[in-house]
Chain A
Amino acid sequence: MTAGVLAPPQPSEPRRDPNAGPRRGQGRRISKLIRMIPLLPAIVLMLIFLAGPVIWSLYGSFTNASLTGKAAADPQWIGFDNYTKLFSDPIFPLSVGLTVLFTLTSAVIAQTILGLSLALIMTKANKKVSATIGTIIVAAWILPEIVAAFVAYAFFSQDGTLNQILAVFGMIGPNWLFSFPMFAVIMANIWRGAAFSMMIYQAALNDVPPEITEAAMIDGASGAKRLIYVTLPMIKQTITTTLMLITLQTLSIFTLIFVMTAGGPGNDSTTLPIFAYKEAFRFSNIGYGTAIATVMLVVGAIFSIVYIRALRSPKE
């Protein structure tokens, strides 16, 4: 168990108390309860600040709550109307498609491959080089999201850095944010997110004992074979955990896209979070917006379950 960086603790069997018999069962239960007391404040806080909004959002999605008009003063329970409307809304499948495209390309594929490659290169490179490159890459991640979003906007906009660089080579770049909005936000997210994966993979790679790779080398395994058969299996848990984290993070990205394209032109970069925001706050349909948010919650939950199952399997 060397590769468990960031892997969640495995549920372990409760330790058996040698004195515990059926007679003492009740006493144990009480002492167990007392031991839970220090957790109480944390649980209360979690309930208020995490479960509270989730429950409110779920409740809101069954009402016609609105920011203005009669429905704001007196929201009515409308059952599943918001959901039936959502599933027949032409923007919904588009928005789900864009969210999947955004998450798959920018997080699952690009950030994982790029992050892992960077981490592998950095373990090979000399210290000064890896420190310098590391700092540059991590800078994108350290920037507050709003700043990173403006930087990306300035890079891709009509008179932005990218088009000015292209102009030096005599090329006239398109208006990226208008003509290729998804490409622009995906590139921006790769740039911003690669550092996170890289840092975790670096830590995991440092945990791979050099003896094992050396042994494989002596056995005649080539570089690629050592990577596929030795290194990757040893950091498999880390890869799954990282995938889960970046998938969930990317699913809910809002600021980056909102600042760069605001979901436009039209709805061409309206991912689910932007869609929910537009409905709730631009069109005042809080109820409909929370229905979209609830769908997002379900999508996120499905992803987490898949990943958590994948994490568990090798142990059993």
Chain B
Amino acid sequence: MRRKAAIGISAVAIGALVGLVGCSASGNADEDKVLKISYIKTDAFTALDTLFTNVKADFEAANEGVTVELLPVAGTDDDYKTKLALSQRSAETAPDVFYEDTAALRSDADAGFLLNLDDYVAEWEDWDQFGDAAKAAGAGDDGSIYAVSLGTDTRAIWYRESVFEAAGLPIPWEPETWEDILDAAAAIKSSQPGVVPFNLYAGTGTGEGSNMQGFYELLYGTELGGDALYDSETSKWVTGSQGFVDSLTFLDTLYTEGYALTPAQALDPNIWQEVFGTMFPDGTLGATVEGSYTPSFWVEDGSYEWPEYADEMGAVAFPTQDGQEPGGVSMSGGWTLAVGAKSANPDLAFEFLTMALNKENALAYDKENSQIAVRADVAADPSYTEANPFIATVTDIVAFTHFRPATADYNQISVEIQKATEAVITGSASPEEAAAAYDEAVKGIVGADAVVDKS
């Protein structure tokens, strides 16, 4: 009797289990089409959410039976990329259209996550509006187009004019060498003791930002220029260069002379919020290197509204080491929209992408997010140039900007550079020691065959 009961119970249990599995597998075969859109939405970055919310309404109205499912990720860029990569592992979870970093695009194309868009863009009438650089931003290693650029950015020195005036410096301030920066910082420090004269991000706290808005402005302005980090001719990573040591030495001077933030401040991952939110508006910071999107924080409805920024702030290109050609340095990144290779409805997904990137939507997005426009018709639109008083300055910088080497090892090497800058600003290593440790680490990551010694 007992045995029978036991068998009965286990049969029920197994049946329930099978039923459960069966349920999840069946169904939704004949449902309406669903497009999944994945992107970042944070308190400080809502422009893309606004864009997609608008496009969702229009797209659903234009395509009956199609549901657009917005899947915003509230997290940092790194967290978003990890989540996106994990979701790409299965067709069930892979999004149809997603926000894709140009720096990750090539390795994601290699991984087979991105749909080849060559045939699609060939028939897209707006494609001619995109310049060659913008088209190249979405190209994979094989030359095919895998994504379409949403906009780009550059880096510049943003400075508080009143602080510079009080130190007796000319407005507009136009530094031509690294020495000019140190001189200006010294003048500010001696005239206004409570002010941080010139900040340059460094260390692991600010992550990739400390390279993009810090070390690379130095390194790419040294003797080797655009090949200072990664030699494009040999496709090898550069070690032992004097420029690397010089750049670290400059950082060391900034931090030990007290021109920049304290090391503890610089290593706080949220320091940029203080820079935008309090230090510049309060006039306790002279200058910092930041992206062309800087005004987006200060405009109406921005995260740190500061209506006076247009009159109070100045922007200028970061100089090369000794003022050598081309006279300025900048880094560019930028994000794109891509279609998932596993998408069940690639045609619809591409249609959604083109709607999101049409002139009207691109214009609204570029204005809200202070992006440098990649569509010719948007760049020529008067409302675009009027929206941001700094647009001419940051767009001119495109002429000498650099892109990161978008290799699969890049993230790890980026962290090694952050560690080197951290060691220097915290005083735990001299610039020479930190550079040597970096060289060793790079060899460990990519192998001794993939580095080239430039000493």
Binding site for B on A (CB under 8 A): 31, 34-35, 37-38, 40-41, 44, 66-73, 89, 158, 175, 178-179, 262, 264-266, 281-284
| Distance A265 CA – B426 CA, assembled complex (angstroms) | 10
1/0 per residue B424-455: CB within 8 Å of A?
00100000000000000000100000000000
Which residues of chain B from 1 to 48 have any CB-CB distance to chain A below 8 Å in the complex? 3, 6-7, 9-10, 13-14, 17
| Distance A31 CA – B3 CA, assembled complex (angstroms) | 9
Asked if B74 CB lies within 8 Å of chain A CBs, one says no
Chain A residue nearest in CB terms to B16: A41
Could you give 16 example pairs across A and B, Cβ below 8 Å? Answer: A38-B9, A38-B10, A40-B10, A44-B17, A68-B104, A69-B408, A70-B110, A70-B408, A73-B112, A178-B264, A178-B267, A265-B203, A265-B426, A284-B85, A284-B408, A284-B411
Q: A41-B17, A265-B267 are in contact. Are A69 and B107 (CB under 8 A)?
A: yes
| Distance A66 CA – B407 CA, assembled complex (angstroms) | 13
Q: Which residues of A contact B13 (CB under 8 A)?
A: 38, 40-41
**Contact present for A281 and B82 (CB under 8 Å):** yes
| Distance A73 CA – B104 CA, assembled complex (angstroms) | 15
Q: A38-B10, A70-B111 are in contact. Are A264 and B411 (CB under 8 A)?
A: no
Q: Which residues of B contact A69 (CB under 8 A)?
A: 107, 110-111, 408
- A265's partner among B6, B7, B112, B204 (CB-CB below 8 A) is B204
- B82's partner among A31, A37, A262, A282 (CB-CB below 8 A) is A282
Asked if B244 CB lies within 8 Å of chain A CBs, one says no
| Distance A38 CA – B267 CA, assembled complex (angstroms) | 56
Asked if B422 CB lies within 8 Å of chain A CBs, one says yes
Query: A-B pairs with the 8 shortest C-beta distances?
Result: A72-B111, A69-B408, A67-B85, A69-B107, A73-B112, A41-B13, A68-B107, A37-B10
**Contact present for B7 and A68 (CB under 8 Å):** no
| Distance A72 CA – B411 CA, assembled complex (angstroms) | 16
Asked if B419 CB lies within 8 Å of chain A CBs, one says yes
Q: Which residues of B contact A284 (CB under 8 A)?
A: 85, 408, 411
Q: Which residues of A contact B419 (CB under 8 A)?
A: 266
Given contacts A41-B14, A67-B111, A284-B411, 11 further A-B contacts (CB under 8 A): A35-B6, A67-B85, A68-B408, A71-B111, A72-B85, A72-B111, A73-B111, A73-B112, A264-B205, A265-B204, A266-B204
Q: Which residues of B contact A178 (CB under 8 A)?
A: 264, 267
| Distance A282 CA – B110 CA, assembled complex (angstroms) | 18
| Distance A35 CA – B268 CA, assembled complex (angstroms) | 60
Asked if B93 CB lies within 8 Å of chain A CBs, one says no
Asked if B164 CB lies within 8 Å of chain A CBs, one says no
| Distance A73 CA – B423 CA, assembled complex (angstroms) | 37
Q: Which residues of B contact A34 (CB under 8 A)?
A: 3, 6-7
Asked if B78 CB lies within 8 Å of chain A CBs, one says yes
| Distance A170 CA – B23 CA, assembled complex (angstroms) | 65
B72 to chain A, nearest CB (A): 20
B76 to chain A, nearest CB (A): 11
1/0 per residue B102-114: CB within 8 Å of A?
0010011011110
Asked if B376 CB lies within 8 Å of chain A CBs, one says no
| Distance A179 CA – B444 CA, assembled complex (angstroms) | 28
Which residues of chain B from 136 to 169 have any CB-CB distance to chain A below 8 Å in the complex? none
| Distance A284 CA – B408 CA, assembled complex (angstroms) | 9
**Contact present for B268 and A158 (CB under 8 Å):** yes
